[in-house]
Amino acid sequence: MTIKAMKYAIALMAVLAAPAQALEFAPGDYEPLPDGSNFFLTYYKYSHSDAFYSQGDKTPGDNKLRTDVTMLRFIHAYHPVENVSIQPQMILPFGRAKAYGDSSALGKSSGMGDAIVGMPVLTTLATPGKDILVLAPFIYLPTGAYDQDKPLNLGENRWRFLLQAAWTHHFSERWALDTGADVSWVTKNDEYAGQTQRQRPRYEYQAYLRYSPTPQTQLGLGGGWITGAASSLDGAAQHDRLSTTYARLSVAQFISPTVQLQAVVGRDLKVEQGFKADTSLTLRLGMLL
Protein backbone atom coordinates (compact mmCIF):
# COMPACT_ATOMS: atom_id res chain seq x y z
CA MET A 1 0.00 0.00 0.00
CA THR A 2 1.42 3.39 -0.98
CA ILE A 3 1.60 6.27 1.50
CA LYS A 4 -1.16 8.09 -0.37
CA ALA A 5 -3.35 4.99 -0.44
CA MET A 6 -2.76 4.42 3.28
CA LYS A 7 -3.75 8.03 4.01
CA TYR A 8 -7.04 7.58 2.17
CA ALA A 9 -7.68 4.11 3.62
CA ILE A 10 -7.49 5.35 7.21
CA ALA A 11 -10.13 7.98 6.49
CA LEU A 12 -12.24 5.51 4.54
CA MET A 13 -12.91 3.49 7.68
CA ALA A 14 -15.37 6.19 8.77
CA VAL A 15 -17.26 5.79 5.50
CA LEU A 16 -17.16 2.06 4.91
CA ALA A 17 -17.74 0.93 8.46
CA ALA A 18 -20.81 2.94 9.35
CA PRO A 19 -22.57 1.07 10.95
CA ALA A 20 -19.40 -0.35 12.43
CA GLN A 21 -18.19 3.01 13.71
CA ALA A 22 -21.40 4.51 15.01
CA LEU A 23 -25.12 4.04 15.23
CA GLU A 24 -26.97 6.88 13.60
CA PHE A 25 -30.55 6.79 14.82
CA ALA A 26 -33.54 8.28 13.03
CA PRO A 27 -36.31 10.33 14.67
CA GLY A 28 -38.59 8.03 16.66
CA ASP A 29 -36.19 5.08 16.72
CA TYR A 30 -36.20 4.94 20.51
CA GLU A 31 -39.93 4.84 21.07
CA PRO A 32 -40.55 1.62 23.09
CA LEU A 33 -41.83 -1.39 21.15
CA PRO A 34 -44.78 -3.42 22.53
CA ASP A 35 -43.95 -6.03 25.16
CA GLY A 36 -43.02 -9.38 23.60
CA SER A 37 -42.88 -8.01 20.06
CA ASN A 38 -40.26 -8.56 17.37
CA PHE A 39 -39.20 -5.89 14.89
CA PHE A 40 -37.41 -6.89 11.68
CA LEU A 41 -35.79 -4.17 9.58
CA THR A 42 -33.95 -4.03 6.28
CA TYR A 43 -31.88 -1.00 5.30
CA TYR A 44 -30.30 0.21 2.10
CA LYS A 45 -27.70 2.94 2.64
CA TYR A 46 -26.12 4.84 -0.26
CA SER A 47 -23.38 7.42 0.01
CA HIS A 48 -21.45 9.35 -2.62
CA SER A 49 -18.44 11.57 -1.96
CA ASP A 50 -16.57 13.78 -4.41
CA ALA A 51 -13.99 15.50 -2.21
CA PHE A 52 -11.33 14.45 0.29
CA TYR A 53 -10.16 16.66 3.15
CA SER A 54 -6.96 16.46 5.16
CA GLN A 55 -6.62 18.52 8.35
CA GLY A 56 -9.33 20.89 7.13
CA ASP A 57 -7.94 21.44 3.63
CA LYS A 58 -9.47 19.99 0.47
CA THR A 59 -7.04 17.66 -1.28
CA PRO A 60 -6.47 18.60 -4.93
CA GLY A 61 -7.89 16.27 -7.55
CA ASP A 62 -11.06 14.43 -8.43
CA ASN A 63 -11.38 12.15 -5.39
CA LYS A 64 -14.61 10.16 -5.46
CA LEU A 65 -16.06 7.29 -3.47
CA ARG A 66 -19.35 5.40 -3.64
CA THR A 67 -20.64 3.00 -1.00
CA ASP A 68 -23.72 0.78 -0.98
CA VAL A 69 -24.62 -1.01 2.26
CA THR A 70 -27.50 -3.35 3.04
CA MET A 71 -28.29 -4.13 6.68
CA LEU A 72 -30.53 -6.69 8.32
CA ARG A 73 -31.63 -5.86 11.88
CA PHE A 74 -33.67 -7.91 14.33
CA ILE A 75 -35.01 -6.46 17.60
CA HIS A 76 -36.90 -8.25 20.37
CA ALA A 77 -38.62 -6.21 23.07
CA TYR A 78 -39.69 -7.25 26.54
CA HIS A 79 -40.79 -5.23 29.57
CA PRO A 80 -39.44 -6.78 32.80
CA VAL A 81 -41.13 -4.08 34.90
CA GLU A 82 -43.56 -1.29 34.19
CA ASN A 83 -42.12 1.60 32.15
CA VAL A 84 -38.90 -0.29 31.26
CA SER A 85 -38.26 -1.92 27.89
CA ILE A 86 -35.18 -4.01 27.11
CA GLN A 87 -34.55 -4.49 23.40
CA PRO A 88 -31.76 -6.99 22.55
CA GLN A 89 -30.84 -6.87 18.88
CA MET A 90 -28.45 -7.93 16.14
CA ILE A 91 -27.36 -6.09 12.98
CA LEU A 92 -25.75 -7.78 9.96
CA PRO A 93 -24.29 -5.40 7.33
CA PHE A 94 -23.29 -6.28 3.78
CA GLY A 95 -21.87 -3.83 1.31
CA ARG A 96 -19.56 -2.70 -1.44
CA ALA A 97 -17.39 0.32 -2.01
CA LYS A 98 -15.62 1.71 -5.05
CA ALA A 99 -13.16 4.55 -5.32
CA TYR A 100 -12.73 6.29 -8.64
CA GLY A 101 -11.34 9.43 -10.18
CA ASP A 102 -7.97 10.32 -8.66
CA SER A 103 -8.69 7.86 -5.84
CA SER A 104 -9.16 4.89 -8.20
CA ALA A 105 -5.91 3.30 -6.99
CA LEU A 106 -7.79 2.35 -3.83
CA GLY A 107 -9.85 -0.10 -5.92
CA LYS A 108 -13.06 -1.63 -4.64
CA SER A 109 -14.30 -4.00 -1.98
CA SER A 110 -17.42 -6.03 -1.23
CA GLY A 111 -18.66 -8.53 1.31
CA MET A 112 -19.91 -8.71 4.87
CA GLY A 113 -19.24 -5.99 7.40
CA ASP A 114 -18.76 -6.41 11.15
CA ALA A 115 -21.78 -7.88 12.94
CA ILE A 116 -23.26 -5.83 15.80
CA VAL A 117 -25.08 -6.96 18.94
CA GLY A 118 -26.76 -4.58 21.38
CA MET A 119 -28.91 -4.33 24.48
CA PRO A 120 -30.67 -0.94 24.69
CA VAL A 121 -32.63 -0.23 27.87
CA LEU A 122 -35.49 2.28 27.51
CA THR A 123 -37.11 3.89 30.54
CA THR A 124 -40.37 5.84 30.23
CA LEU A 125 -40.23 8.71 32.71
CA ALA A 126 -43.06 10.01 34.87
CA THR A 127 -43.18 13.36 33.07
CA PRO A 128 -46.29 14.96 31.52
CA GLY A 129 -45.21 13.87 28.05
CA LYS A 130 -43.81 10.49 29.16
CA ASP A 131 -40.27 11.27 28.04
CA ILE A 132 -37.92 8.39 27.28
CA LEU A 133 -34.39 7.88 28.60
CA VAL A 134 -32.17 5.33 26.85
CA LEU A 135 -28.86 3.65 27.68
CA ALA A 136 -27.67 1.42 24.86
CA PRO A 137 -24.45 -0.65 24.86
CA PHE A 138 -23.33 -2.28 21.59
CA ILE A 139 -20.47 -4.62 20.71
CA TYR A 140 -19.06 -4.93 17.18
CA LEU A 141 -17.56 -8.28 16.28
CA PRO A 142 -14.58 -8.52 13.87
CA THR A 143 -16.51 -10.74 11.43
CA GLY A 144 -16.30 -8.51 8.35
CA ALA A 145 -14.27 -9.05 5.21
CA TYR A 146 -10.70 -7.83 5.77
CA ASP A 147 -7.44 -8.08 3.82
CA GLN A 148 -4.47 -6.09 5.08
CA ASP A 149 -3.08 -5.87 1.55
CA LYS A 150 -6.19 -4.06 0.28
CA PRO A 151 -6.76 -0.32 0.87
CA LEU A 152 -10.55 -0.80 1.07
CA ASN A 153 -12.12 -3.14 3.59
CA LEU A 154 -15.65 -3.54 4.92
CA GLY A 155 -14.45 -5.07 8.20
CA GLU A 156 -12.28 -3.32 10.78
CA ASN A 157 -10.36 -6.39 12.02
CA ARG A 158 -10.80 -5.23 15.62
CA TRP A 159 -13.41 -5.20 18.37
CA ARG A 160 -15.47 -2.08 19.02
CA PHE A 161 -17.56 -1.19 22.06
CA LEU A 162 -20.06 1.66 21.76
CA LEU A 163 -22.17 3.23 24.50
CA GLN A 164 -25.06 5.42 23.43
CA ALA A 165 -27.31 7.54 25.62
CA ALA A 166 -30.47 9.12 24.22
CA TRP A 167 -33.40 11.18 25.39
CA THR A 168 -36.79 11.77 23.76
CA HIS A 169 -38.84 14.73 24.93
CA HIS A 170 -42.51 14.86 23.88
CA PHE A 171 -43.70 18.46 23.70
CA SER A 172 -47.15 17.27 22.63
CA GLU A 173 -48.77 14.42 20.72
CA ARG A 174 -47.35 15.84 17.48
CA TRP A 175 -44.01 17.36 18.44
CA ALA A 176 -40.94 15.69 19.96
CA LEU A 177 -37.19 16.13 20.27
CA ASP A 178 -34.86 13.14 19.86
CA THR A 179 -31.28 13.69 21.00
CA GLY A 180 -28.40 11.40 21.84
CA ALA A 181 -24.65 11.01 22.18
CA ASP A 182 -22.32 8.05 21.96
CA VAL A 183 -18.69 7.15 22.47
CA SER A 184 -16.88 4.12 21.09
CA TRP A 185 -13.59 2.43 21.86
CA VAL A 186 -11.66 -0.06 19.70
CA THR A 187 -8.96 -2.64 20.23
CA LYS A 188 -5.78 -2.44 18.16
CA ASN A 189 -5.58 -3.73 14.60
CA ASP A 190 -2.23 -5.50 14.30
CA GLU A 191 -2.70 -6.40 10.64
CA TYR A 192 -2.90 -2.97 9.05
CA ALA A 193 -0.55 -3.14 6.04
CA GLY A 194 2.05 -4.84 8.23
CA GLN A 195 1.71 -2.28 11.01
CA THR A 196 -0.24 -1.92 14.25
CA GLN A 197 -3.04 0.61 14.18
CA ARG A 198 -4.51 2.15 17.31
CA GLN A 199 -7.33 4.67 17.57
CA ARG A 200 -8.53 7.04 20.25
CA PRO A 201 -12.24 7.15 21.26
CA ARG A 202 -14.74 8.39 18.71
CA TYR A 203 -17.65 10.64 19.75
CA GLU A 204 -20.93 11.53 18.06
CA TYR A 205 -23.85 13.78 18.96
CA GLN A 206 -27.24 13.78 17.21
CA ALA A 207 -30.43 15.86 17.55
CA TYR A 208 -33.71 15.81 15.61
CA LEU A 209 -36.96 17.72 15.82
CA ARG A 210 -39.88 15.40 15.01
CA TYR A 211 -43.38 16.27 13.84
CA SER A 212 -46.25 13.78 13.42
CA PRO A 213 -49.13 15.27 11.41
CA THR A 214 -50.97 11.95 11.89
CA PRO A 215 -50.28 8.91 14.10
CA GLN A 216 -49.08 7.04 10.99
CA THR A 217 -46.75 9.75 9.60
CA GLN A 218 -43.71 11.45 11.07
CA LEU A 219 -41.24 14.01 9.72
CA GLY A 220 -37.83 14.76 11.15
CA LEU A 221 -35.14 17.41 10.68
CA GLY A 222 -31.75 17.57 12.34
CA GLY A 223 -28.19 16.35 12.15
CA GLY A 224 -25.10 15.55 14.10
CA TRP A 225 -21.43 16.07 14.81
CA ILE A 226 -18.60 13.51 14.86
CA THR A 227 -15.21 14.07 16.49
CA GLY A 228 -12.24 12.17 17.87
CA ALA A 229 -10.90 8.86 16.48
CA ALA A 230 -7.33 10.06 15.91
CA SER A 231 -5.18 7.10 14.92
CA SER A 232 -1.55 6.02 15.05
CA LEU A 233 0.52 3.47 13.11
CA ASP A 234 3.29 1.73 15.08
CA GLY A 235 3.10 4.62 17.54
CA ALA A 236 3.36 7.38 14.91
CA ALA A 237 0.45 9.83 15.10
CA GLN A 238 -1.45 10.23 11.81
CA HIS A 239 -2.95 13.65 12.65
CA ASP A 240 -6.34 12.48 11.37
CA ARG A 241 -8.73 13.54 14.11
CA LEU A 242 -12.30 13.69 12.83
CA SER A 243 -14.58 16.73 12.93
CA THR A 244 -17.63 16.25 10.72
CA THR A 245 -20.98 18.05 10.79
CA TYR A 246 -23.92 16.61 8.86
CA ALA A 247 -27.61 17.32 8.22
CA ARG A 248 -30.52 14.88 7.81
CA LEU A 249 -34.17 15.05 6.71
CA SER A 250 -36.44 12.06 7.31
CA VAL A 251 -39.98 10.91 6.56
CA ALA A 252 -41.62 7.74 7.88
CA GLN A 253 -45.01 6.26 7.09
CA PHE A 254 -46.90 3.25 8.46
CA ILE A 255 -48.52 1.72 5.38
CA SER A 256 -50.28 -0.78 7.66
CA PRO A 257 -50.50 -1.18 11.45
CA THR A 258 -47.33 -3.34 11.41
CA VAL A 259 -45.31 -2.15 8.38
CA GLN A 260 -43.34 1.10 8.22
CA LEU A 261 -41.40 2.73 5.37
CA GLN A 262 -38.75 5.33 6.10
CA ALA A 263 -36.44 7.50 3.99
CA VAL A 264 -33.57 9.64 5.30
CA VAL A 265 -31.61 12.01 3.05
CA GLY A 266 -28.71 14.24 3.93
CA ARG A 267 -25.16 15.37 3.33
CA ASP A 268 -22.03 16.45 5.14
CA LEU A 269 -21.90 20.17 5.85
CA LYS A 270 -18.29 20.39 7.00
CA VAL A 271 -15.45 17.86 7.10
CA GLU A 272 -12.00 18.30 8.60
CA GLN A 273 -10.64 14.84 7.79
CA GLY A 274 -11.77 12.26 5.23
CA PHE A 275 -14.22 12.07 2.36
CA LYS A 276 -17.08 14.58 2.34
CA ALA A 277 -20.44 13.00 1.47
CA ASP A 278 -22.38 15.19 -0.95
CA THR A 279 -25.24 12.65 -1.02
CA SER A 280 -26.48 10.31 1.70
CA LEU A 281 -29.63 8.21 1.37
CA THR A 282 -31.10 5.55 3.67
CA LEU A 283 -34.23 3.56 2.84
CA ARG A 284 -35.72 1.36 5.54
CA LEU A 285 -38.50 -1.21 5.69
CA GLY A 286 -39.64 -2.25 9.16
CA MET A 287 -42.08 -5.02 10.03
CA LEU A 288 -43.52 -5.56 13.50
CA LEU A 289 -43.95 -9.28 14.08
Counting the structural domains of the chain, the total is 1
Average pLDDT over residues 41-60: 92
Tens digit of each residue's pLDDT (9 = 90 or more) over 108-119 = 888 999 999 999
Average pLDDT over residues 182-206: 93
Given this model, what pLDDT does residue 18 score? Answer: 40
Given this model, what pLDDT does residue 8 score? Answer: 52
> What integer best gives the mean pLDDT of the chain?
90
Gap between the Cα atoms of 288 and 286, Å rounded: 7
CA 49 to the chain's CA centroid? 16
225 vs 192: which has the higher pLDDT = 225
Q: CATH no. for residue 74?
A: 2.40.128.130
pTM recorded for the entire structure: 0.91
Q: What percent of the chain has pLDDT over 90?
A: 75
> By residue range, what is the domain housing residue 124?
3-288
Is the pLDDT at 44 greater than 90? The verdict is yes
Given this model, what pLDDT does residue 22 score? Answer: 60
Average pLDDT over residues 137-164: 91
Which of 139, 131, 153, 111 shows the shortest CA–CA distance to 11?
Answer: 153
Confidence of residue 16 (pLDDT cuts 50, 70, 90): very low
**Which CA distances in Å does 255 have to 31, 38, 252, 259?**
18, 18, 9, 6
Is the pLDDT at 100 greater than 90? The verdict is no
Is the pLDDT at 5 greater than 60? The verdict is no
Given this model, what pLDDT does residue 149 score? Answer: 82
Confidence of residue 40 (pLDDT cuts 50, 70, 90): very high
Which of 55, 65, 89, 57 shows the shortest CA–CA distance to 13?
Answer: 65
CB neighbours of residue 120 within 10 Å: 23
